[in-house]
A and B are shown apart, each in its own frame.
Chain A
Amino acid sequence: MDTIHNRQEASSWQKRHNTLAPKVGDLAPDFTLSDIRGENPIRLSDFQGKKPVALIFGSFT
């Protein structure tokens, strides 16, 4: 994904990926990510059987 420059590019990206995004009833795609220091990796599937997870996606702008 490159930097998006306008509404048309945003709409195109969203249409392309939204069809593949998980819907209610789908298994959530697993991932492993690290924190802002590149430390303390967390894996989504580690919470299975333990705790529900709220995922909040966003940026600073």
Chain B
Amino acid sequence: MSLHNLYQEFSSQIQFIKVYIREAHPVDGWWFGKGIMSTLLNLSRSKASRNLYDPKTLEERRGAAGDCEESLQFGIKTYVDEMDDLVNKAYAAWPTRLYLINIEGTVIYAGGLGPFGFKPGVLKQAIEKHITEEKIP
């Protein structure tokens, strides 16, 4: 289950918000551009960038977020966390994470920390359960 497919299937019932947060594996950080991780990314045909430096300004971050949105093409509009990383910290979101929130503003699915806890298929199950129970048309 890809995020793109998830969005295509449920976007009329669920508001999808992609939040671009601090880079996970930039060139100037915990880089995956060489060695075994690079090989694994090649094998998985990952679209993740391997030549991006961690943005140092909000303008740079917006630029990277735009490149990400264009490359990955989930169809989900991207919003950009600010340089204080407040939203990232509030949700312990780094490097990737998924949440589902009901109309009361309560968390009804909190995914595990990425990458191993990042499971769009489990989010799909949570969405299906929620829209069935709440009879969301």
Contact = CB atoms under 8 A, between A and B. Distances in A.
Contacts, number: 214
Residue of A34, A47, A53 most packed against chain B (CB within 10 A): A53
Nearest to B96: A58
Given A1-B88, A37-B62, A59-B68, A48 B103 contact: yes
Contacts of B103: 47-52
Nearest to B84: A1
Contacts of B87: 29, 31, 33
Given A3-B26, A35-B80, A58 B105 contact: no
A34 B81 CA distance: 8
Given A28-B106, A38-B62, A51-B15, A57 B79 contact: no
